[in-house]
Structure 1
């Protein structure tokens, strides 16, 4: 009997999968495309920042629509005392609160720009409309500009830093014209989450018509007194109270938090702007729905948010109250 032949072990197959040439090329192509996309995004952001530099304000680049509108509103405000009535004063006070506190502070600023809360309809529609008739810009333009401000606060590229001059930060920055291409870049790079919203697109396209309709409605309801007070005086008050947040609260006041910019808390601006003057609080913790962090820092806009939440029209409200001096979360928009 013959002994069985010894078994020769078969060579083990390697489990490593060899990447085919087409697959490797596809991967490398994706890496190149991703790098190009990132580079293009960085270039577009740099172009947007550069478009807000003070040297962009030249005769060839002035937004004359804004200049004429602002001049007309201030001229109307100067004429308003000659057309005074108590009802005109009343409608001015009401519309100032509605457009500034509800439209700008609550909706444009805390809801859209920082996503501090969400709104259900019909409140969302009416809060957006209140912001539109404030005359401070369309929702997309306002939110995009504000996000740019936070990303470059008091640095080159900040749309309205007093480091570039007090008067520049207060209003001169508004007179720089931005092309449609530049607006598209702003939407792509700073508010892509908002630019896809059909309601915001609607208000962006019809913005000017709402301002004209507001003037017509005021004149029809109360004649020249309501037009001059309810439109011109009210808008000028709203403009300057908002602009003081850009200028004064980066120059004067106290600080609860250490931030990378010069933001300050300024009580009289907080009164004029329904709580927005607690600006150092906001820059330290921009995503919070409340601007007043100490018990005596009154924030009327926060009270409106609490009311909307109580009736089910506001939700996902970021109502945290950080300890004064707590670490800043300013990069969390």
Structure 2
């Protein structure tokens, strides 16, 4: 069943969901909001569909639990996660109010501004455009969130929308709640996977100079933030503003992948198991209204009813008011959208 439509218009196809039966990849499927329609690299638009279909199938096969084997674990990611959680457990023994305050501010900046607003709604779904100053701040916040480079994050998220709760979904809870919450990130990547991912799911972003810059310098921003916190605030500041802040942000993001495909209510009928879950929306700055988002992924607002609070949307409104956010897709879904049982 398709989602309820806005003003009787055709539903938009999530990026990466085009049928693989045509002769060529649709040239306008993944155009950037800054690009002209059809502006895809020639090597993509001219590739025979049979080859493209094989490569797309190869890419989707990377995102399966079968790949989670001891010899295929990404020990860099695993070690980082263990270290951050260990620091989080140690933090109560080094508590200061100043460290807690900085952690709270950075949690909002990295999770809401960096991930939700910039990585997710701006880059992944092109719900609006950001002027260069705001875009740069958002990229910095997204980088020090420690959830991956902007290109990798956005491209992987587009795969999720294209394959949501079907084969190739990077983090479907139908493969197990722990797989969707955490284990999917532990599978070692490869240059081949990265090449296919960027080619088919983020060619527009791969042409964006600012996105490419932050993609190359991601580790510098992340490690630099930790070094600055330790140098100017000591161990307490590092443990709270780095470790505690990141662990809370990680799990709030991961609950969007896992919990909101398992529990909650649905405003719309979609082809996946996405749900709206109020406590995930609270901790993830509005991202917990996941069924709303999967029904209308291009919209800049995730809360569709008056009581579905969306802090990230409030920030987008502020940025639009000061001229830093433009072309904001602020449509409100039809008020008579059907409510379905849990």
Q: Place the TM-score, normalised by the shorter chain, in its bin.
A: 0.7 to 0.9
Give the TM-score, by structure 1 length. 0.87
Of 238, 244, 252, which aligns to 1:227? 238
Within 5 A, what are the aligned runs for 1:11-90? Answer: 37-90=48-101
Q: CA offset at residue 35 of structure 1?
A: 8.1
Within 5 A, what are the aligned runs for 1:180-195? Answer: 180-195=191-206
Q: Does 1:92 align with 2:103?
A: yes
Partner of 1:247: 258
Within 5 A, what are the aligned runs for 1:147-186? Answer: 147-186=158-197
Q: Spell out, residue by residue over 1:21-67, the C-alpha distance to the aligned partner (whole angstroms, 9 max, x if none).
A: xxxxxxxxxxxx98852222211111111001000111221111100
Give the distance between the partners of 1:104 and 1:49, measured in 2 at CA: 24
Give the distance between the partners of 1:94 and 1:34, measured in 2 at CA: 44
Q: CA offset at residue 290 of structure 1?
A: 0.1
Q: CA offset at residue 150 of structure 1?
A: 0.3
Give the TM-score, by structure 2 length. 0.84
Give the distance between the partners of 2:51 and 2:111, measured in 1 at CA: 37
Q: Spell out, residue by residue over 1:74-97, the C-alpha distance to the aligned partner (whole angstroms, 9 max, x if none).
A: 000000011100000000000000
Cα RMSD of the aligned pairs, angstroms, is 1.4
Q: Does 1:322 align with 2:328?
A: no
Partner of 2:273: 262
Give the distance between the partners of 2:336 and 2:302, measured in 1 at CA: 14
Q: Does 1:140 align with 2:142?
A: no
Unaligned runs of 5+ in 1: 1-32, 328-333
Whether the 8 Å contact between 1:275 and 1:292 is mirrored in structure 2 is yes
Q: Does 1:200 align with 2:221?
A: no
Between stretches 315-324 and 107-116, larger displacement belongs to 315-324
Q: CA offset at residue 235 of structure 1?
A: 0.4
Q: Does 1:102 align with 2:102?
A: no
Once superposed, which parts of structure 1, at least 4 consecutive aligned residues long, lie more than 6 Å away? Answer: none
Distance 1:36 1:92, change over 3 A: closer
Larger helix proportion, structure 1 or 2? 1
Q: Spell out, residue by residue over 1:124-158, the C-alpha distance to the aligned partner (whole angstroms, 9 max, x if none).
A: 10101100100000000000000000000001110
Q: Spell out, residue by residue over 1:188-223, the C-alpha distance to the aligned partner (whole angstroms, 9 max, x if none).
A: 000110011111111111111211101111011210
Whether the 8 Å contact between 1:161 and 1:247 is mirrored in structure 2 is yes
Give the distance between the partners of 1:148 and 1:88, measured in 2 at CA: 37
Greater Rg by CA: 1
Partner of 1:8: none
Give the distance between the partners of 2:337 and 2:190, measured in 1 at CA: 41
Q: CA offset at residue 169 of structure 1?
A: 0.4
Give the distance between the partners of 2:74 and 2:45, measured in 1 at CA: 36
Whether the 8 Å contact between 1:256 and 1:325 is mirrored in structure 2 is no
Whether the 8 Å contact between 1:256 and 1:324 is mirrored in structure 2 is no
Give the distance between the partners of 1:324 and 1:147, measured in 2 at CA: 27
